[in-house]
A and B are shown apart, each in its own frame.
Chain A
Amino acid sequence: MPTPDRYNFVVSKEDWSLHRKGYQDQQRHQEKVREVIKQNLPDLVTEENIIMSDGKQIIKVPLRNLEEYRFIHNYQKHKHVGQGDGSSEVGDVLGQDSPKDSGKSGKGGKAGDQPGYDYVEAEISLEELEDMLFDEMELPYIQEKDKEEMETESIRFNDIRKKGLMSNIDKKRTILENLRRNATAGTPGIHGISPDDLRYKTWEEIIVPRSNAVILAMMDTSGSMGAFEKYCARSFFFWMTRFLRRQYEKVEIVFLAHHTEAKEVSEEEFFTRGESGGTICSSVYQKALEIIDSRYPPSSYNIYPFHFSDGDNLTSDNERCVKLIGELMKRSNLFGYGEVNQYNRGSTLMSAYRTIKQEKFMYYVIKEKGEVYNALKRFFHKREGGAAS
């Protein structure tokens, strides 16, 4: 019979709850993942499958900088030794890299377990991406609207109690209580519902601030606006809408397309239709003013007119544009002008707008896709003490 003393060993069980190192470094890794995603924001903002999606999917971001690079052998090009079940033969196929993955990621075949082909990707939801993006943004010049108009009362059923109004009885929970009581009493089943079993739903009154915003999305659809120009505008409006939806209970968008004259169109038409002909921007501003005056009283709406164009306006129209923008700004929180100008052409509109010296007027010239992100940040950057709500 062995006795513990004869053998040199100790068994112990300590409190490890303060040993957090793994979690700390895990968090550091996750911070680094976030950093990488942040660096990728300009690219992600114009990522086609985000803009064109319903906004519900998971986005994959490659984390090239977070792989632990070393000198390693090329797994794909090597011979390896494996083990069969006794019946392996030369020529047996063990696995296959699917054509989609080949050269990219090693999910098929064996390569998956190999560090060399473990291409790291972080998965984030659109919501997380929004958090990250909008974290850097802020709505400027929010205006107080009439208080009565801005608040509504509503009720929410959010609790269960043993006392209440008979009309609010919670049948499911009442039956469950009955079942439970009968089972405890040794007579399982639903029978003899007593007042003790009754459960009622109760509610709470909540006051929901009702705030509205309207975006007047205006775009030049004249012949000079190509697919690239429209895509940039589309990405911008995509994010802007999402951003405003976070700030306001209800965000409406009015799509206004124009060439020499302006028209209210559907979203689909807005982004797809192209027309030939010249450009008269004042037409759309005039239209916007009409819509505001007839449908969106500035006393209860936060109004955001944004205009995208390539800047190629009829020169004689410019003066009128500046004047109408002045009118629009009186009614709006902000006026944004985005010019998509891939080749750095001279822009007649821009030369006129440069003279507008008002805080509420903002412009940005987008030369490449990645700059949509910069445009968003220019329009909605955080202002020092500027944004009072």
Chain B
Amino acid sequence: MSSEMEQLEYAISEIMEIADSFGLDYYPMRYEICPADIIYTFGAYGMPTRFSHWSFGKTFNKMKMQYDFGLSKIYELVINSNPCYAFLLEGNSLIQNKLIVAHVLAHCDFFKNNARFSATNRDMVESMSATAERISRYELAYGASTVENFIDAVLAVQEHVDPQLIKPMRYDKRQQMEEKLRRAKDGRYGQVKEGAYDDLWSLDVNPGGSAAAEAKENGVQFPPEPEKDIVWFIQEYSEALEDWQRDIMSMLREEMLYFWPQMETKIMNEGWASYWHQRIIRELDLTSDETIEFAKLNASVVQPSRQSLNPYYLGLKIFEDIERRWDHPTVEERRRFGREPGQGREKIFEVRELDSDTSFLRSYLTKELVRDLDLYIFEKQGPEWKITDKTWEHIRDQLVASRVNGGSPYIVVQDGDYLRSGELLLKHQYEGLELDLKYLEHTLPHVYKLWGRPVHLETVVEEKRAMFSYDGQKHVRKMI
């Protein structure tokens, strides 16, 4: 073994010792040193073992080009799995690797302990590999371009899943839907509420597929309540899909559910990792050269950028602010909340466990932080992008709004039997953010392909309700 590897191993054990003393709680670590194109492949696919698709190739090409031109550099990649895989870029210096090793340990601690991740599949590396293999077998059976076109359509709606953390009565999605249907029917006929165990009967009453038909028969709206999980709803109730297609949808949905918590906690997760790599490296004995190199790299990671908000920086600043406010509460905080001094560390560990970006920002982005970070709201006025507001509450709320639903528009299945002819009505839960209409009209044909019948989407344009429809031939756009 080269002495370089020995040095790295020694550094890692040293860093782990420090991390342990701080109370970080992570999975066993697997560090793998990779050449740049491999790191960028993993970056584009999100996972080393993911299935093949041209869109990943496109992303890979773009990322790799930026690397080749020296515009951006990924130093590491960490996978939420047990054991936890972390990929280090070949050619990193020892001090760069020290920072990265500490950084990924904190990411892993976050994966392991944050509530949003509690349901993620820690064997996803293997699951994705199995998925990739199954998809390539479908390619052999049904033709590569058939499968590719179908995946194109699924990817168009992939963000629209429902990452339920709490499953009522531990029902799976289908059981929940049956339950809702039963309640809707009961409500309609005014029947008395049945006994506590009656729902057990319903578990095996409706085997597959019949839910929609039965709802129709009973004159109950289907789905009884708007359904957020569009992917699941289509995969379950579309009449246009073959078994292999349902299988692909359900596998891609699992992958999205796996990635979802990462989308919901980007600011926190990066803030947490940056907070800890700084604290851990401070404990190490560094030469003055190493200290300077560390400072440079650290600055490049957490530097604020004028164009967009750097999640590393924002997250780091909020965590530091929480720690300070719980270490040194003001007189008022002590009186009103009974907050005792010196609880900073404890508090940030609690926050990393319970919050996601939306609640993190809503609860801990204070007036002082907004001022110190010099945050502002900007928007387009005519051809110019202008700063239009510096009111701290507005800034906080705007940031929260941009992180709702991982940043994707919140769209639900409103009616799976629209116009009583099996058409699909989606509804955008409009809260002030309009949809990109060009993208909307190009996405509907994908949904049509999955549903097999005309599809509609209701949203709001220029403060008026609007309906976009696609029937396989043409688009219709009307105000309602």
Chain B associates with chain A = yes
Query: Interface on A for B, CB 8 Å cutoff?
Result: 2-4, 6-14, 16, 19, 21-30, 32, 64, 66-99, 102, 108-110, 113, 116
Q: How far is the CA of A69 from the CA of B17 in the complex (A)?
A: 47
Q: With A2-B13, A6-B13 in contact, is A72–B435 under 8 Å at CB? A: yes
Is there contact, CB below 8 Å, between A102 and B435? no
The smallest C-beta distance from B277 to any residue of chain A, in angstroms, reads: 16
Give B218 Cβ to nearest chain A Cβ, in Å: 31
Judged by DSSP, the binding face of B is mixed
The smallest beta-carbon distance between B244 and chain A, in angstroms, is 20
**Given the complex, which residues of A lie within 8 Å of B309, measured CB to CB?**
81-83
Q: Assuming A2-B14, A22-B40, A92-B387, is B380 touching A77 (CB within 8 A)?
A: yes
**Interfacial chain B residues near A26, Cβ < 8 Å:** 57-58, 60-61
Cα distance A14–B48 in the bound complex, in angstroms: 14
Complex Cα distance A91/B61, Å?
A: 39
B435 & A90 in contact (Cβ 8 Å cutoff): no
Inside 8 A of B58's CB, which chain A residues have their CB? 25-26, 29, 66
User: Which bracket fits the contact residues of B?
Assistant: 35 or more
Which residues in chain B, 237-264, are within 8 Å of chain A measured between CB atoms? none
Binds A, one of B29-37, B203-211, B334-342: B29-37
Are A73 and B33 within 8 A (Cβ)? Answer: no
B33 contacts across to A, CB distance below 8 A = 11-13
Interface contact B57-A24, CB-CB below 8 Å: yes
Inside 8 A of A95's CB, which chain B residues have their CB? 384-385
Indicate if the CB atoms of B60 and A22 lie closer than 8 Å.
yes
**28 A-B pairs, CB-CB below 8 angstroms?**
A7-B16, A9-B28, A10-B29, A10-B30, A11-B9, A12-B33, A19-B41, A22-B40, A24-B52, A25-B56, A69-B156, A69-B442, A71-B439, A72-B439, A73-B409, A81-B378, A81-B398, A82-B307, A82-B375, A85-B306, A91-B387, A94-B385, A95-B385, A96-B383, A96-B385, A97-B385, A109-B384, A113-B307
In the docked arrangement, what's the CA distance between A32 and B155, Å?
A: 17
Which one of B113-121, B180-188, B294-302, B388-396 is at the A interface? B388-396
Bound-state CA distance A2–B15 (Å) is: 9
The reply on B69 being an interface residue by CB < 8 A is no
Chain B residue, CB-CB nearest to A8: B28
If A71-B435, A82-B308, A113-B308 touch, whether A25 touches B378 (CB-CB below 8 Å) is no
Contact present for B443 and A90 (CB under 8 Å)? no
Cβ-defined contact, B376 with A88, below 8 A: yes
Query: Quick one: which of B380-414 are within 8 Å of A by CB?
Result: 380, 383-390, 395, 398-399, 402, 408-409, 411
A187 to chain B, nearest CB (A): 39
B24 contacts the other chain (Cβ, under 8 Å)?
no
The answer to whether A8 touches B29 (Cβ under 8 A) is yes
Partner pick for A11 among B12, B308, B440, CB 8 A cutoff: B12
- Does chain A have a CB within 8 A of B112? no
Contact A71 B440 (CB under 8 A): yes
User: A4, B13: Cβ atoms under 8 Å?
Assistant: yes
- B320 CB, min distance to chain A CBs, angstroms: 16
Q: Are A70 and B434 in contact (CB under 8 A)?
A: no
With A25-B60, A71-B443 as known contacts, state yes or no: A94 contacts B374, CB within 8 Å.
no
